[in-house]
Amino acid sequence: MNSSSASRSASSPVWSSWPEIWRHYSFAGDTGGFLWLRRRINGHPTADPRPLPGITATIGTPFQVPDVACGGVMAEFGLRPTLLYRLKTLLWKGPSVVLRLSPGPGDRALIPAMTTVPFLISPVIETRRHFAEFMQRGFTADSAGRPRTAEVRVLAAKPERYFAPDFAVTFRSVAPIDACPPTQP
């Protein structure tokens, strides 16, 4: 993993593959440019994301990100594009959709069609060093880099023209194997 991963969108497929990395690899070292990961002989089943209570959120209104004892929080959004958005994106580019995490690094681009797959929203991992620390130590509810609220924004004068105002948010907890002790479901 190199540090260019920080420039990708928040809903990038890379972020949804991290539990698979934690299941099959352990941290072996940091070269200063890349992480060395060691393949596990047998994959670890407890890396699977576990469901947390979901909510209904409103575009442009912050919502709480759940706290977990150790590990991170993945989310998926049930954004509902309007016919106008579908037509506009068929012919041209639609308005930008962003995720604002607070406290956090500011706005992160979202690709609406990709938000139906869980992706990591907490903690904010921007560098390979953050990724390595998360693999080794996990994060607790008091850790720095853990946003308390999130907000989905449509960068248009009238967002309701492009998306239904309310959408479902499904949360899952995810824990790197080497950092967080396994819990029974």
Residues in the chain: 185
Burial per residue of 75-95, b for 16 or more beta-carbon CB atoms within 10 angstroms, e otherwise: bbbebebeeebeebeeeeebb
pTM beyond 0.75: the answer is yes
Q: How far is CA 154 from the centre of its chain?
A: 18
Say whether pLDDT at 75 is over 50: yes
CB burial class (10 A; 0-12, 13-18, 19+) of residue 137?
A: middle
Give me the percent of the chain exceeding a pLDDT of 70. 82
Query: Residues 129-158: what's their mean pLDDT?
Result: 81
Residue range 21-72, pLDDT digits in tens: 777 888 888 888 888 888 888 776 655 688 999 999 999 999 999 988 888 8
Burial (Cβ within 10 Å: 0-12, 13-18, ≥19) of residue 1: middle
* Cα–Cα distance, 12 to 110 (Å, whole number): 8
> Cis before residue 51, ω within 30 degrees of 0?
no
Model confidence at 14, in pLDDT bands (50, 70, 90)?
low
The answer on pLDDT for 1 being more than 50 is: no
DSSP summary character for residue 113: G
Q: How far apart are CA 44 and CA 69, in angstroms?
A: 20
Give the helix ranges, DSSP H, for the chain: 13-16, 18-24, 83-91, 128-137
What contacts 7, CB < 8 A, 6 or more positions away?
Answer: none
d(CA 183, CA 30): 29
Q: Which tokens go with 38?
A: 């060691």
With 70 as the cut, is the pLDDT of residue 15 above it? no
